[in-house]
Amino acid sequence: MKTPKLRMVLPIAALLYVAAANPARAQAPLEPAQMSPRTLFYVIWHGVAGTEARKANSLLALWDDADFAPVRSALATGMLNSSAEKPTQAKLTPEQVQEFAGLLEIRSRLGM
């Protein structure tokens, strides 16, 4: 009687062991001497910041701001478009750049 029960428990235990979430095994950052001489840049990713950290960081708070959505979409469009394509929108004039810079400066002073 014990043998059939053991035959069922072992495969189930093995399945649970394989399916269980393993803790992340982090790789140590590479030292510059270990990198290829052709390496242009190297990024070390530490994950996504928590909500409190995103609110405390003014750049991340600006990025999460709903009013900043048109700028985010324009950045994404600019990065995803082919450089050979002609832009349909006119370039920003120096006056518009100064206006946007003033708005960003006001927002940063207000702590938004």
pLDDT tens digit string along 38-64? 988 888 877 787 888 888 888 888 888
Q: How far apart are CA 98 and CA 104, in angstroms?
A: 10
pTM (2 decimals)? Answer: 0.37
Q: Which of 63, 68, 66, 67 is nearest to 53 (CA)?
A: 63
Of residues 42 and 28, which shows the higher confidence score? 42
Q: What is the mean pLDDT of the chain?
A: 77
The three-class DSSP label of residue 49 is coil
> Is the separation of the CB atoms in 62 and 75 below 8 Å?
no
Predicted local confidence at residue 9, as pLDDT: 83
Tokens of 64: 């999460």
**Domain limits, the chain:** 43-81+91-112
Q: Which of 102, 99, 96, 112 is nearest to 61 (CA)?
A: 112
